[in-house]
Amino acid sequence: MMLKSGDEVPAFSHPTDGGGKLSLKDLKRKKAVLYFYPKDMTPGCTTEAEDFRDRAKEFAKSGAVIVGISKDSAARHDKFKEKYRLPFILLSDEGGDLCERFGVWQEKSLYGRKFMGIVRSTFLIDEKGIVRQVWPKVKVKGHADEVLAALKAL
């Protein structure tokens, strides 16, 4: 079941691009935009990352940290981040436990074939680690603007 507004974010600690590590306690006292996406270097995921990149300064001015999360390795995140000049953290959830705990690992269907995968979803988290807003099954076009507007309204 996907986390919803009012839920507490589960504790985590995962590798990031650049050989780093990110845990929930690193985000305390900050607002955070955690966006889950299926795969680095794919068209929709690249467009979404570029949209967040192009608005990164506005998110920072509003006091928020952006974190992109997928099951790609930290090494693949390094390549993705470098190629598209992404100024925010990319977290690696290779084992999928964070995807499971947020409820974004779900059955999907493509051309009649069913499979498990990450449902593109975004979570706006407050300074106390509480989910303030959720965007399930995100449509990429205009999404970063929607999230930014919600952040400014917090």
Catalytic residues: 45
Single out the residue of 20, 81, 28 nearest to residue 56, CA to CA: 81
Would you say 52 and 64 are in contact if contact means Cβ atoms under 8 Å apart? no
Would you say 44 and 123 are in contact if contact means Cβ atoms under 8 Å apart? no
Bridge-based pairing state of the strands 64-70 and 89-92: parallel
Residue 31, phi-psi category: left (phi > 0), alpha (psi -120 to 50), beta (remainder): beta
User: What does the alpha-carbon distance between residue 90 and residue 93 come to, in Å, rounded to a whole number?
Assistant: 10
Tokens encoding 35: 């966006």
Q: 74-84 and 43-54 are packed helices; what angle lies between their axes, rounded to 10 degrees?
A: 60
